[in-house]
Structure 1
């Protein structure tokens, strides 16, 4: 969220346009803070109109906040502002510009859900969602002890947002509490996942299924034949009685 104009802010960040292209600037901040971005034209021979952009969209400015010097306030900074760029451009020549990108830093936040009970010999995935800036160091624990990653049994998939553990062909010994841990210079967090491994249900033999189907079909056929013979017998008896 941002507003044009000034206000009570943590710091003032001055951006100066000197009629040359400048590199993108980085502003490190934290959630909850209020930041003010300023843009000023120097070495100009006439009044210059300035325009702010947030990403690709323009920022609405009041009339008194456009000429030669302009500023916008971010009130307050949030995690979703991380990586957002604000660019100040000269209206008559937008190639003259300067940008600042917010580097919103916050401690790790972990989320995830327990997997459903899984039968032996099946694979299971424990997915730990990570939100952290700077990026956190990640680790898995089982029953409060560091997890030993056995080759062929465990697989790790790690991105900036996901830390996933795959257990191949689970066994009863895999039952327990798995903990996803994230650590950064700003703090740490742990998230528990409870895994329940159930006995493998015996598969019903195909031969038994075929045999059962055959029995059912034969029963139906014999029933139809018997009923047909009974009907014919009743009809024959009725005819004999009439004669």
Structure 2
């Protein structure tokens, strides 16, 4: 039994050693056991990397953000180094901050930010389209955690997808309501896009759609070409007439 325990302990030693580090990271707010820091947009996160007690020839610390070096001021490098993320932005979501001794890049610790935020949709947008034209309304629903449901309403009622006039698509970031051929009697009114989050609840954006009568559109380029031809023809006729008059006067 003692022999088996000794063998097991011997096998575990390399694993335990690889998990030890000369540096530690403390954070505000505190990180979880897995090194994940929960935070929100516009908040502040403070990271402090400290060199553990012991004999170290090199005491300079290095910070990396997603593998790229963080610029540290003098006096914020040796023994204890801090990094402040303020304010937290969307691009900080999933960012990993790593600290290690400059002389030993293999001996490092890291934390990862988990930034939660709601989808940024709100307000009223005025939309005007001509009768018979196509239309696309968009709701940007990027959020963390992701929204669980997106609905579209027209004048307070859910958009009827059983008809072929409405098409709703989503790529996880943007929800689109498409109408291939707008008809005033069917499509004019107040549209509302609502995104539902398990954390932040519901958020909505409205679109007031006005459908105008179709205007007659003239082909601009052919008209310009025609006017140029007419103008050149008239100019040549004037020149030709002037030459004839000039001959008669001689």
After superposition, residues 79-228 of structure 1 pair within 5 angstroms as: 79-110=90-121, 114=125, 116-136=127-147, 137-150=149-162, 152-172=164-184, 173-184=186-197, 185-201=199-215
Contact 1:176 1:196 in 2 (8 A): yes
- Is the deviation greater in 45-54 or in 139-148? 45-54
2:75 is the counterpart of 1:63: yes
In structure 1, C-alpha distance between the alignment counterparts of 2:167 and 2:101, rounded to whole Å: 52
> Does structure 2 conserve the Cα–Cα contact (< 8 Å) formed by 1:107 and 1:188?
no
CA–CA distance in structure 2, aligned partners of residues 64 and 170 of structure 1: 62
- Contact conserved, 1:10 with 1:33, CA < 8 A, in 2? no
Larger strand fraction of residues: 1
Cα root mean square deviation, aligned: 4.0
In structure 2, how many angstroms separate the alpha carbons of the residues matched to 1:66 and 1:35?
Answer: 21
- Tell me the secondary structure at the aligned position of residue 43 of structure 2: coil
Partner of residue 39 from structure 1, selected from 40, 46, 49: 49
Match of 2:29 among 2, 8, 11: 11
> How many matched pairs?
205
| TM-score normalised per structure 2 | 0.63
- Alpha-carbon contact 1:123-1:168 (below 8 Å) kept: yes
Provide, for residues 50-79 of structure 1, a one-character-per-residue CA deviation record: whole Å limited to 9, x for no partner: 211223132314435432x43323334344
- Which residue, 75, 80, 84 being the options, matches 1:73? 84
User: Given that residues 14 and 39 in structure 1 are in contact (C-alpha distance below 8 angstroms), is that contact kept between their aligned partners in structure 2?
Assistant: no
Unmatched 5+ residue regions in structure 2? 1-26
C-alpha distance in structure 1 between counterparts of 2:96 and 2:123, whole Å: 30
Whether the 8 Å CA contact 1:110–1:190 is kept in 2: the answer is: yes
Q: Deviation at 1:114?
A: 4.0
1:30 to 40, 48, 54: 40
CA distance in 2, matches of 1:164, 1:112: 17
Higher Rg: 1
| Equivalent-residue separation in structure 1 for 2:210 and 2:110 (angstroms) | 52
